[in-house]
Amino acid sequence: MSTDAVSTPDRDLLRPLRYVWRVPLLLVHIVLGIFLCGGILTWNRHAVMKNGREPFTHRMIRAWSTGLMRIFGLRSVRVGQPMPDAVLFVANHTSWIDIELLHSQRAACFVAKAEIAGWPLVGWLASSGGTIFHRRGSNHSLAAVMQVMVERMREGRSVAVFPEGGTGHNGVLKVFHARIFQAAVDAEVPVQPVALRFVRDGRRQIDAGFRSHENFMQNFLRMLGGPTMDAEVHFLEPVQISSDGRRRMAELARERIAAALEDRPA
């Protein structure tokens, strides 16, 4: 981690004012999301990208996610280009906002913890968006999840995973679990690492995601009232598929993401 990475100051006199206009906008945006999931996604939820042509439903998902990011004061910035058609995206994980950040640039089916399925409204929105739920610590659940991942990618849909197996804190990038990469090998699709990076005034903000011992609601409210910053999505060089080298695939993906997360001299 770069020594230039910084934390957001706790003292912020403008925070109450941001809630005044962001909360009403968020409520309107949620209603729009319910309409989107209940109408457009249900009508054409299985549409896939073919030959690089993005279906209408994917564009709607990206537009909604981009709008949500702006309500939270986050301007999504794409660096590099996502690979077309079916891809396994592997990204670093900081908080729940990572899903919307990647969705602002490329629609994909995410693998998420099973608890999210039971969250009011959020669980329904996630299910409508094609989320694959995994019960952490269960090998049986992981095997079932990987089977679904392979099926989705063979159908032409992209899947996004967080191979750290949980959120990192204070800018720490944890070890990537190699087993999840087998799904790309079985589906015969490329693996593209994605670095998610939060930046203000050219410097990485290491605590934009979850802080230690911070729950979902605490993080949600802190981010909703926080100052504006850029949220970068770095689409990196793909990792070569290797049927007998899942660990090396995981290490290469982690190395490329770690390099992209570093602050660089101007």
DSSP label at residue 132? E
At 153-168, the pLDDT tens digits run 999 999 999 998 777 7
Does the pLDDT of residue 67 top 90, yes or no? yes
Tell me the CA distances in angstroms from 101 to 106, 109, 182, 213, one per residue in order: 9, 13, 25, 23
Q: What is the pLDDT of residue 169?
A: 72
Q: What is the C-alpha separation between 238 and 222, in angstroms, rounded?
A: 34
| Total residues found in the chain within this entry | 266
CB contact at 8 A, 95 and 102: no
Mean pLDDT lowest for which of 8-17, 142-151, 157-166, 218-227? 8-17
Q: Give the pLDDT score at 128.
A: 67
Residue 254 buriedness (CB in 10 A; 0-12 / 13-18 / 19+): buried
- Give me the pLDDT at residue 8, please: 58
- Listed range (14-18, 189-193, 244-248) with the worst mean pLDDT: 244-248
pLDDT for 172: 81
SS3 220: helix
- Cα distances (Å, whole numbers) of residue 12 to 16, 22, 103, 228: 9, 16, 29, 12
Whether the per-residue pLDDT at 192 is higher than 80: the answer is yes
Closest CA to 181 of 253, 126, 124, 102: 253
Q: Hey, which of 33-37, 66-70, 106-110 has the most confident mean pLDDT? A: 66-70
pLDDT exceeds 50 at position 1: no
Is 101:74 a contact under the CB 8 Å cutoff? yes
> Residue 242 above 90 pLDDT?
no
Tell me the C-alpha to C-alpha distance, in Å, between residue 128 and each of 45, 61, 77, 107.
8, 11, 25, 13
Nearest to 129 by CA among 188, 65, 172, 203: 65
Q: Looking at per-residue confidence, does 133 or 256 come out higher? A: 256
What is the DSSP secondary structure assignment for residue 117, as one 8-state letter? Answer: G
Q: Please give the mean pLDDT across all residues of the chain.
A: 85
Q: Is the separation of the CB atoms in 234 and 258 below 8 Å?
A: no
Predicted confidence band of residue 53 (pLDDT cuts 50, 70, 90): confident
Higher pLDDT, 72 or 209: 72
Q: Closest Cα partner for 202 from 138, 149, 266?
A: 266
Q: What is the pLDDT of residue 149?
A: 92
